[in-house]
Amino acid sequence: MDFLNAIILLLNYIFVPALTYGSQLALGAIFVTLIYGILRFANFATGDMMSFGTMVAILFTWYFQSIGVSLGILPTALLAIPFAILFMIIYMLFIDKFVFKYYRTNKSPPVQLAMVSIGVMFVTQAVVRIIIGPADQRFFDGQKFIIKAGEFKEMTGLNEGLAIKSTQVITILVTIILVSVLFWFLNKTKTGKSMKAYSDNEDLALLSGIDPKRIVMITWIIAGILATIGGVLYGLDKSFKPFTYFNNMLPIFAAAIVGGIGNPFGAFLGGYVIAFSEIFLTYAYKKFFMYILPDSMEPETLVQLLSTDYKFAVSFSILVIVLLYRPSGIFKGKVL
């Protein structure tokens, strides 16, 4: 019984949150890695592009709520996502046409493109803050919990409750569907394969008749889908605040690099590596040990490896270690 309690405790406080957070990071990391693999620059505007997509989704959610459309127990935001994606893609293609294209055709070094993306970051941040303001926005509606802690306790008769929020389930499900469709697209379709070829060797790809304009456009479209969905899922689960989204850029970068930048599957797993290690290392295991150890050996301290203040620092340290020993990432930067 105690053992079961301990397991439920870990599930509730570590596994489920980490899986959710990891999925959100993974979507962002695939976004970063795609841009890096095909357009060949580190996109510092990642977090802000996600916040732009989320902002549009929130505006649509409000609109739907005002005209009384809802999805019942599901959050209305899910209905708003397709519209938000549309706006996001238009915004990204617009930026690409007026900003990035010039440097791409001039074959500027990646560093210059990264600098330009900082300019885009400033502008996007300004646009988001001017339109929706810097404050916290909660746009979640519908049923909050799938299993409540209390109900779970009654059902199973255990001491520990397991609470599963509907946003967590939605996040994980949507991620699984989206990522499998994406990998199917990249590995099985002709367009996906030509993207791979383009990322492997640009000149050879051009020789074999791949149209770079089309590749770039499709990349931005996929990026737009990933950024919007990733952003909305994060916003649904926690809340939307432009500054947090900007900060999320850092663990997302960490995830992409840990997984081997340019490698979407690596980025996907990298997201979970970062999320799990953040939560594993900063969780206080006192209660866990209280369950599995006999009373006499009960720990006095919190048995916490690092205080939660260092949550971000954990992922960055992992990144630094990976960069030191395996600069191409855990899954070896097999490009795309």
Partner 1 sequence: MMVLIILVGIFQSWNIALSIFNMCLISAVMTMGANIQWGYAGLINFGIMGYTALGGLAAVLISVDPVQEAWRAGGFDILMCLWLIIVMILVIRFILKNFAKSKLRNYGIASIIIAGIILIRVTAEPGIEAIESVNPAKTGFLGGFGLPIIFSWIVGAFFAGGLAFIVGKVALGLRADYLAIATLLISEIVIAIIKHEDWLTRGVKNVIGLKRPAPYEVDLQTTDWFINLVEKFNSGKLALISNLADRQAALNQLVIEGSSVFVKLCYSGLFLVIVIILLIITQKALYSPWGRMMRAIRDNEEAANAMGKNVVKQHLLIFILGSAIVGIAGAMLVTQDGLFTPGSYRPMRYTFLIWVMVIVGGSGNNFGAILGGFAVWFLWIEAAPIALFLINLFTAGMSDTNALKVHLIESVPYFRYLMMGLGLLLIMRYRPKGILPEKIEIK
In the complex, the residues that contact partner 1 under the rule CB under 8 A are 41-42, 99, 102, 109-112, 114-116, 118-127, 129-130, 133-134, 246, 250, 253-254, 257, 307, 309-310, 312-313, 316-317, 319-320, 323-324, 327
Which residue, 16 or 113, is less far from partner 1 as judged by CB? Answer: 113
Q: How far is CA 28 from CA 64, 91, 108, 173, 314, in A?
A: 26, 17, 25, 16, 18
**Minimum distance, C-beta of residue 86 to partner 1, in the bound complex (Å):** 23
Which residue, 292 or 323, is less far from partner 1 as judged by CB? Answer: 323
Pull the structure tokens for residue 1. Answer: 């019984």
Which residue, 203 or 309, is less far from partner 1 as judged by CB? Answer: 309
Angle made by CA atoms 302, 303, 306, in degrees to the nearest 5:
95
Which residue, 145 or 310, is less far from partner 1 as judged by CB? Answer: 310
Which residue, 53 or 192, is less far from partner 1 as judged by CB? Answer: 53
DSSP state of 308: G
Which residue, 41 or 288, is less far from partner 1 as judged by CB? Answer: 41
CA dist., res. 167 & res. 189, Å (int) = 31
**Could you tell me how far CA 234 lies from the centroid of its own chain?**
7
**Minimum distance, C-beta of residue 15 to partner 1, in the bound complex (Å):** 24
CA dist., res. 275 & res. 166, Å (int) = 19
CA dist., res. 166 & res. 148, Å (int) = 10
CA dist., res. 306 & res. 284, Å (int) = 9
CA dist., res. 29 & res. 22, Å (int) = 10
**Minimum distance, C-beta of residue 83 to partner 1, in the bound complex (Å):** 21
Radius of gyration of the chain (CA): 21
**Minimum distance, C-beta of residue 183 to partner 1, in the bound complex (Å):** 25
**Minimum distance, C-beta of residue 251 to partner 1, in the bound complex (Å):** 9
**Minimum distance, C-beta of residue 11 to partner 1, in the bound complex (Å):** 27
